[in-house]
Chain A
Amino acid sequence: MSEDKKKIKILIAKPGLDGHDRGAKVVAQALKDAGMEVIYSGLHKTIDQIINIAIQEDVDFIGLSIMTGAHIPITEKLMKRLKEKGIEDKKVFVGGVIPQKDIPKLKELGVAGVFPGGTPLRETIEFIKNTAKTA
């Protein structure tokens, strides 16, 4: 059979108790319109639930939306679990309320991209497309 186009598959996830999902939903819609296949996790997910979805759906990217300021511990935990499960090939990006000074820390943890609130949508889309190409 003919070879089909590789589609970028993304999980947009809301870890933890925070319920502010306007941003996550906006990004999900924008990525869909950019031709990607998007799964939205829904609210109040634990890291293990997010990992489970990422495994079964075999997504290329996990986008975390975090507004409470807990982005460092949450991301740290996720990255650790990715390694434990042997799926560290999945690229992680983080959005939400993220101060500039925390961006290097997140990158150190292995995050591929950080998009604080107010980042233009096209920047996020371009990042994903470029990262997918080099992967």
Chain B
Amino acid sequence: MEIVEKILNGNEASAAKLISLIEEGKDEGYKAISLLLPYTGGAHRIGITGAPGSGKSTLIDKLATNFSKRGKKIGIIAIDPTSTKTDGALLGDRLRMRDAENIEGIFIRSMAHRGYPGGIAKATIGTIYILEALGKDLLLIESVGIGQTEINISTVCDTLITVFTPDYGDEIQLMKAGMIELGDIIAINKSDMPGASNAQQDIKGHVNTNNNTTWDIPVILTQAQKGDGIEMLIEKAESHFKHLKENNLLEKLRSEKLKKLMLSFLKEEIWAHAMNKWAKKSEFLNIFEMVAKKEIDFYKAVSEASNLIFPDC
């Protein structure tokens, strides 16, 4: 395939085009990806997650700038939310990556999550493959950041940086968000705000009691706008990657995560299928009606509906 050749020769426009084909779910796109597979896997995949306004994009801008000074070939995937009301999206992360945008060889792709759960888009994993085949050896993936649990971001990256700000709220919020358990590195950004070192202590305490792996999760103060703490973050990200490789964890974790991601996608597929095929059928609608009229109880209705879709179970 011509597009595959071009990507392997480093043609950005072709890589960008293929990403679009994956976003549109085109078979030719999947076919191209399968041809690229032998050339994938070579990059250090770093995910960045955190609440809206925590400064993820600015952090990525600085990370990319500094990584590129170390000779890294960088790809950035910035995922923005799709409006549930209008189905449209304003892809604004890129604007916060002005410095990175002007460095030759840094490829930035914005992507709307299009309702996909878990903080990433359906096309994210495909895009990772494409950028690796394009020759990128460091990927920075910014999750949607809509404040909910962003489980899937951890399945597409090797190192996950979770970003907080000193005003992250009390400890309960923290555990509820469940974000801390996901991170390999924690950055307390906007560390010029009051309470930064307290937050650092709090989170350190929480992390140490909950961590049962051989990797000590570092908690780092950063001030992305000024570039403070970026070098430390890079150092930690690199030593985390080294840790994975030295302990033969990289491939093991990648395949475990891939399985998780696959199951999550599968769930979406099954759901989509059920909604398209079944939810409009009359026997299905009858069940709804019966519940409404109190002719059957709710639990029985669920079980009957389930039997309709999966008669064998």
**Chain A residues close to B by CB (< 8 Å):** 1-7, 9, 28-29, 31-42, 49, 52-53, 55-58, 85-87
Q: Could you say which of A40, A42, A58 contacts B90, with CB atoms under 8 Å apart?
A: A40
B101 beta carbon closer than 8 Å to chain A: yes
B245 within 8 A of A: no
**Contact between A56 and B12 (Cβ–Cβ < 8 Å)?**
yes
B17 to chain A, nearest CB (A): 6
Q: Which residues from chain B contact A49 at a C-beta distance below 8 Å? A: 101-102
Structural contact, A6 and B90, CB atoms closer than 8 A? no
Cα-based distance from A42 to B83 in the complex (angstroms) = 21
C-alpha spacing A40/B12, complex, angstroms: 20
Given contacts A7-B112, A53-B94, A55-B12, contact A1 B88 (CB under 8 A): no
Q: Is B253 an interface residue (CB 8 A)?
A: no
Q: Which residues of B come within 8 Å of A, CB atoms?
A: 12-13, 16-17, 19-20, 23-27, 30, 82-83, 86-92, 94-95, 98, 101-102, 107-110, 112, 114, 122, 265, 269, 272-273
Q: Is the CB of B114 within 8 A of A34?
A: no
Is there an interface contact between B19 and A58, defined as CB atoms closer than 8 Å?
yes
Residue in B83, B87, B92 with the greatest tally of chain A CB atoms within 10 Å: B87
The 8 closest A-B pairs by CB, nearest first: A4-B25, A32-B88, A58-B16, A35-B87, A3-B25, A58-B20, A35-B88, A39-B91
- Report if A35-B86 is in contact (Cβ < 8 Å); known contacts: A3-B26, A58-B20: yes
Write 14 A-B pairs (CB below 8 A) sorted by A numbering.
A1-B265, A7-B24, A9-B20, A32-B88, A33-B83, A37-B82, A37-B88, A37-B91, A39-B94, A53-B94, A56-B107, A58-B16, A85-B13, A87-B13
